[in-house]
């Protein structure tokens, strides 16, 4: 395999991510993504903002992070504990996340997520897939098999459902289930971006 072909997926990741955040942000390759997410405090910043509408005062974020680290409620965190975390976030982690275009900040001390952060979802929430779709597909399949056995043995509801109608019924159920699955999983554009981000 040529060096050009092996490096192409990494360039694709950078192109997708830089296109989301704009030309001023540092391009992200997978090494940068892993570097960003390897630090617990940076993950906690992103998590807190996701849970609070995408933006929050940095002081509130620092207080929450300090609470997680001390295993205490944020309101029980001391000023010293909160200040220690605040300095670390302000001097190191917020500038790094800003540098790669994952968050923005303003003069009021508020930080906010950019649209670019959604591309980290496969890494932040790899198993957060919503409903257990494989169970639904299995249930529809088993229902079809059960009806098929009953029809072939001439048992009820054999008189109500022909083989062709049974096939149509199960196919329709699978189509409806697949459409619901696709709707829950996001748009095709999101799926395409996530596929590109997963490539090595």
- Whole-prediction pTM: 0.53
The CATH classification number of 3-124 equals 1.10.10.10
CB 3 within 8 A of CB 187: no
Percent of the chain with pLDDT over 90: 28
Position 190 scores a pLDDT of 45
Per-position b or e across 137-162, b if 16+ CB within 10 A of its CB: eeebeeebeebeeebeeeeeeeeebe
* Tens-place pLDDT, residues 141-168: 888 888 778 877 877 766 676 777 777 8
User: b vs e for 27-54, b when ≥16 Cβ sit within 10 Å of the residue's Cβ?
Assistant: bbbbebbeebeeeebbbbbbbbbbeeee
């Amino acid at each position: 395999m040529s060096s050009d072909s092996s490096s192409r997926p990494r360039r694709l990741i950078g192109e997708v991510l830089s296109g989301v955040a704009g030309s001023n942000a540092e391009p992200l390759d997978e090494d940068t993504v892993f570097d960003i997410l390897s630090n617990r405090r940076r993950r906690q910043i992103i998590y807190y903002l996701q849970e609070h509408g995408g933006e929050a005062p940095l002081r509130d974020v620092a207080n929450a992070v300090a609470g997680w680290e001390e295993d205490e409620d944020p309101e029980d965190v001391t000023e010293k504990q909160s200040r220690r975390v605040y300095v670390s976030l302000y001097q190191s982690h917020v500038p790094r996340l800003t540098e790669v275009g994952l968050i923005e900040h303003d003069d009021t001390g508020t930080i906010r997520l950019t649209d670019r952060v959604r591309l980290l979802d496969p890494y932040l929430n790899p198993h957060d897939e919503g409903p257990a779709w494989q169970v639904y597909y299995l249930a529809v399949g088993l229902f079809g098999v059960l009806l098929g056995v009953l029809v072939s043995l001439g048992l009820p509801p054999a008189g109500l459902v022909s083989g062709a109608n049974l096939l149509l019924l199960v196919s329709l159920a699978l189509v409806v289930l697949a459409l619901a699955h696709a709707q829950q999983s996001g748009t095709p554009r999101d799926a395409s971006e996530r596929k590109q981000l997963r490539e090595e």
